[in-house]
Chain A
């Protein structure tokens, strides 16, 4: 049994049928990459898992329990952390308040304010700054730290490298590898293919709301046909 099992979900925005029967699994201590062009439903899949846009049909099991009908805050409290697209750091909250809010579920574990500051020393100098006063890289650190504060067992990361300088992206790669080492399951949506392939243990390619490829990231790296057909590269 996998930690996260998405089983044939169909998710809609109003009348648009975005996810048309997607199934996938994610395991502890592994990075599962979701790849695909823009607008194929990767973010919708993340939103379905966290409960923002619940699937109309199909099931989502987390640690063996169905979560597809639970409200988002309950899903989060059970151990699903979210690093959302666009980071969504709260502008009216200081860095420290953003992090403390992330710790709200009150799950015990290795992540505390102190360990987050150890991982992102730059945030220690910014504790009293408001979310709106941070650089893109700093916001990304807050978004990751905020998600870790709940001591999740599954981390959903949606385009974490978006808008970051190459040097920061390399830092992000090291961070993700370190998180994987702690036994965390990571579901990663990423446009930056080299980054995704460098950290992923398994990869799914989504096209038009369906999974069209599932396998070893190495295959995507070497198979030109898969790349051109589904990723447009």
Chain B
């Protein structure tokens, strides 16, 4: 039988991959991939503790979290599409004019 720490280690590995992607990648879509990986790792931790306690409220929180990250992805992809229309590129180092 698995222990709760096994799932926590998996979540830590996923968060590390997400941090690596956020630091290294300059492609706007890859940044969204990294954010999604981190959000999923957090959901995994919540479900693992909800199974351990046991309490159904962890599952309710995960439902809310999934809905919020779906909204975040919708807005993020909309912003990427506009930025692509302005700059003809999705590389975030090209978005220098956003500073002004």
Q: Do these two chains really belong together in a complex? A: no
- Chain B residues close to A by CB (< 8 Å): none
Residues of A that sit less than 8 Å from B by CB: none
